Structure 1
C-alpha cells in the first residue's frame, strides 16, 4: 500500500491532465504542416517516427516543468506538513520525496534534450534555439534563481513557450523552415493556455497575495485578471470566426462555437474564485482544442 501511495504521489506531481497543453501544441504544429502538405515526406515509417518523437519531446518538457514546479512550490502547498526527515539539498532542508521530484524533473529535461538532439539530427539544426529556450523556460517557470512566475511573467511566458514556440518548433521539424503561419493559425487554441494559467492565478489570488507570490494577477489585481481572462477567452472564438471568413480555417472549425456555454460556465466560476474554475477551464481547452484540431486535419 505504501508503494502504491508513493507512486500515486509521483503521478500527481507530474500533473498528467495538464499534458494536453503540450499534446495539443505539438499536434497543432503538425496540423498546420498538414494544411501546407509538409506533414508527410513520402516515407511513412520516417514520418510516423518523427510524429512520435516530436510529441514525446513536448510531453517530456512539460512533465519536467510540472515536476520542478511541484518541487519549488511544495513549501507553499504543504505549509503545515512537517513529517519526515529532511536533508540538505540546494541550500535548503528538503524531504527525500521532494528531492526525488526535483531529480525526476531534471531527468525529464535530460530526456527532452536527447530526444531534441536526435530530432535535430534527422531534420534541421534550426530547431536548436527553440529546444534550448523550451527547456530553460520550462525550468525557470518556478525554478530558482529565475522564477519568472513570481515576477508576474508566468502567464505570458507560459503562453509563448507552450503556445507559439512549441507550435512553431513542431512545424519547423516537418517543414524545415521558419514561418509565422503556424503561430498565427495556432492562436485560437494557444490563447487558451494563458486562460488556463489565469484560472489558477485567480483561484489562488488570496493565497499568493498573502505569501508574497507576485503572479500577474496579484500584480494587476483580481478585477483586471478577470478582464484579461475574458478578453483572451473571447479572442479565441473571435479569431476562429475571422480565420474561417478568410478561408484560413475550414468551416468545420466553427463547430468549436458549441463550447460557448462551457466558456460561460468557466468564466462564472473563475470570476468568483471558485475551485471549479480550473477544471472547467481545462475541460474547455480540451473540448475546444479537440474540435479545432479535428477540423484542421479532417476537412
Structure 2
C-alpha cells in the first residue's frame, strides 16, 4: 500500500495533464516544418526517430519543471505532506518524499540534456542555446535562488519558454535554420500557455497574496489579471481568423471557433476565482490546440 501511495503522489507531482503544453509546442514546430515540406527528409527511420526524440525531450523538460515546482512549493500546498523524519537538504528541513521529488526533477532535466545532446549531434549545433535556455528556465521557474515566478515573471517567461522557444527549437531541428515563421504561426496555440498560467494565478490569488508570493497577478491585481486573461484568450481566436484571411492557415482551422463556448465557460470560472477555472482552461487548450494542429497537418 505504501508503494502504491508513493507512486500516486509522484504521479500527482509530475502533473501529467499539464504535459500537453510541451506535447503541443513540439508538435506545432513539426506542423510548421510540415507546411514547409521539411518534416520528412526521405529517410523515414531517421525522421521518426527525430520526432520521437524531440517529443520525449520536451515532455521530460516539463516534467522536470513540474517536479521542481512541487518541491519548492509543497510547503505552501501541504498536498504531498508525508509524516516522518526530516532531513537537512539545501538549507531546509525536508521530508524524504520532498527530497525524492527534487531528485526526480533533476533526473528529468539530466535526461532532457542527454536527449538534447544527441539531437544536436544528428541535426544542428544551433540548438545548443535553445536547449540550455529551456532547462535553465524550467528549473528557475520556482527553483532557488532565481524563482522568477515570485518576481512576477512566471506567466510571461512560461509563454516564451514553453511556446515560441520550444516551437522554434523543434522547427530548427528539421529545417536547420532559424525562422520567425514557426513563432508567428504558433501564436494562436502558444498564447493559451500564459492563459493557463493566469488561471492558476487567479485561482491562488488570495493564498499567494497572504504568503507574499509576488506572482504577476498579485503584482498587477486581480482585476487587471482578468483583463489580461481575456485579452490573450481573445487574441488566439482573432489571430486564427487573421491567419486564415491571409492564407497563412488552412480554412479548416476555423473549426477551432467551435471552442468559443468552452472559452466563455473558462473565463466565467476564472473571473470568480473558481477552482474549475484551471481544468476548464486546460480543456480549452487541449481542444483548441488539437483542432488547429490537425488542420495544419492535413493542409
State the TM-score, normalizing by the size of structure 2: 0.99
Measured in 1, the distance between the counterparts of 2:111 and 2:269 equals 38
Tell me by how many angstroms 1:79 deviates: 8.7
- Residue in structure 1 matched with residue 67 of structure 2 by the alignment: 67
CA drift at 1:200? 0.1
- CA drift of 1:78 comes to 1.3
Distance 2:115 2:161 in 1: 18
**1: CA distance, partners of 2:169 / 2:83:** 43
Could you tell me whether the CA contact under 8 Å between 2:259 and 2:284 is conserved in 1? yes
Tell me the TM-score normalised to structure 1 length.
Answer: 0.99
How far is 1:2 from its partner? 1.3
Residues 19 and 59 in structure 2, CA contact (< 8 A), matched pair in contact too: yes
Between the aligned partners of 1:164 and 1:135, the Cα distance in structure 2 is 15
SS of the counterpart of 1:40? coil
Structure 2 contact 82–97 (Cα < 8 Å) conserved:
no
In 2, the alpha carbon distance for the partners of 1:15 and 1:267 equals 22
Which ranges of structure 2 fall in alignment gaps of 5 or more residues? none
The reply on whether 1:22 has 2:22 as its aligned counterpart is yes
Preserved contact between residue 82 and residue 95 of structure 2 (Cα < 8 Å)? no
Give the root-mean-square deviation of aligned CA atoms: 1.0
Q: CA deviation at 1:83?
A: 2.4
Structure 2 partner of 1:101: 101
Q: Quote the residue 1:210 is aligned against.
A: 210
Give distance in 2, aligned partners of 1:82 and 1:110.
26
Q: Secondary structure at the match of 1:178?
A: coil
- Report the secondary structure of 1:257's partner residue: helix
Measure, in 1, the Cα distance between the counterparts of 2:58 and 2:174. Answer: 15
SS of the residue aligned with 1:88? Answer: strand
Q: Which residue number corresponds to residue 76 of structure 1?
A: 76
Residue 156 of structure 1 deviates from its aligned partner by: 0.1
Counterpart for residue 111 of structure 1: 111
| 1: CA distance, partners of 2:277 / 2:62 | 22
Aligned-partner Cα distance in 2 for 1:229–1:205: 14
For residues 1-299 of structure 1, the aligned pairs below 5 Å read 1-78=1-78, 83-299=83-299
Residues 81 and 239 of structure 1, relative CA distance in 2, 3 Å threshold: same
Structure 1 gap segments, 5+ residues each: none
Q: Aligned equivalents of 1:180 and 1:100: distance in 2? A: 40
Quick one: distance in 2 between partners of 1:244 and 1:136? 36
- What secondary structure does 1:72 align onto? helix
- Deviation, 1:94, is 0.2
Native 8 Å contact 2:124 2:173 kept in 1? yes
